[in-house]
Amino acid sequence: MTDAEIEAALAIAFSQCEAAGIPLKGQQKAILLQVMARILRNSTANTNGESRSNPSNDSTPNPLEDLTQSQRQALLQFIQERDTQTYPWKIQLLNDWLQGQDSGSVQFVREELGLQWLEQVQPVHIAQYTDKLNLKLKVGDRIEVSNSLWEWVQDDGPCCREWYPCTVVAIAEETFDAATEDSDQDDSSLSTSCTVRFDNGSEYEIQAIYSWNQYQWRWASA
């Protein structure tokens, strides 16, 4: 199925849900569209003999490299603006598509690239073009954390740096008073902690993930 055929088939299904008195919400529609695109991409990969066990690795080209500089700048700005709102940027964009609304400066994603390209874009790709501090973590994001968080590591020592995949399960923000006795006026800063769950089920809380611990994590490549 092509992207257009997927959209058409889902539009019919959504209309039938409304006729039956059980209309879907905009976010539910967008998620279904996103899942269908993923299924199509995986099916295409299998047909081409590609492995599904490692869909993204260091040798995989960054999809953002397909864009012109102006297109990439527009998309990155869209991502940073929308990720501060109710829905993640992909959900916002997919909702536009389902509602037939113009997406403004990023309309080219739908008209020129389509769902399969959109599904390939992951946080690790975006982080290559933006400061990690401006790309905020959300519950459900996949990241990798360094063992230097809980043990002493040295580049040339017996304990070297290792990276462990995990999932963000909670995020907490705390405002603390940063004023000192020498300060003329009070100041405050926001510290963000993040709880991650490793694949073995254990959890770990990372303090100040955007400040002094920002180099102890990275976006997962898969």
The string of pLDDT tens digits covering residues 17-50 is 777 777 777 767 776 776 666 655 554 444 444 4
Give per-residue pLDDT as tens, 105-143: 999 998 899 888 888 888 888 888 776 546 778 888 889
Per-residue pLDDT at 197 exceeds 90: yes
More confident: 164 or 82: 164
Structure-token pair, residue 171:
């995020």
**Structural domain spans, the chain:** 3-134, 142-219
Q: Average pLDDT of 139-149?
A: 89
More confident: 84 or 88: 88
Whole-angstrom distance, CA of residue 140 vs CA of residue 26: 20
**Element (H or E) spanning 167, and its range?**
strand 163-177
The band of 52, judged by pLDDT with boundaries at 50, 70 and 90, is very low
Phi and psi at 100, nearest 5°, equal 70, 25
Residue with the two structure tokens 């509602």 = 99
